[in-house]
Amino acid sequence: MNDSQPTPSEQPPKRDLYPNELAEQNHNRQPRAELPWHLAFDLQDVEAGLAERLAANPDTESFAREALVGDRILAVIFHAGQWYAMDGICTHQGGPLAEGHVADGCVTCPWHGWQYELETGTQTTSRQPLQAVFPIRQNGTAVEVQLP
């Protein structure tokens, strides 16, 4: 054992995570090789021609739908040419984020107007990462999500 290493009894006590560390841990949209992909829904089952419409007009088309994946309710959102998956239950009082207004990279809860960044789940007023976000991809017409 290296003498310069602290012994277990000398380890600093565990502390709460800082918001940026929490964001790194729980709000990471980067795919992780060890996690399986789960089907959120198939675009063909949602609406005939939807996949083609989104592909033809990625900058102007948007789409949002609630999806039950495992035991989680997600807000699955297509905005500005990208897919996003976010915990679908608003941290404030449980509003349905999939029914929220989507603009400028954010979704606004329809109940009381809390707004979250799609990329990070950060609540825009408090700057806290309150909504979990997850890796998402489109595989053909299937929209798939990775959950921890």
Interface with ligand FES, residue 116, by CB under 6 A: no
Q: How many residues bind ligand FES (CB under 6 A)?
A: 10
Interface with ligand FES, residue 135, by CB under 6 A: no
Q: How far apart are CA 53 and CA 44, in angstroms?
A: 11
**Whose Cβ is closer to ligand FES: residue 74's or residue 90's?**
90
Interface with ligand FES, residue 37, by CB under 6 A: no
Interface with ligand FES, residue 132, by CB under 6 A: no
Nearest distance from residue 5's CB to ligand FES, in Å?
A: 47
Interface with ligand FES, residue 83, by CB under 6 A: no
Contact present, 75 and 87 (Cβ < 8 Å): yes
Alpha-carbon distances, residue 70 vs 29, 80, 88, 104, 112 (angstroms): 18, 27, 13, 29, 27
**Whose Cβ is closer to ligand FES: residue 43's or residue 90's?**
90
Q: How far apart are CA 125 and CA 142, in angstroms?
A: 34
Interface with ligand FES, residue 101, by CB under 6 A: no
Alpha-carbon distances, residue 95 vs 26, 82, 117, 127, 132 (angstroms): 20, 23, 16, 19, 15
- Judged by CB under 6 A, which of 51, 87, 95, 135 binds ligand FES? 95
Q: How far apart are CA 11 and CA 136, in angstroms?
A: 38
- Judged by CB under 6 A, which of 67, 109, 130, 132 binds ligand FES? 109
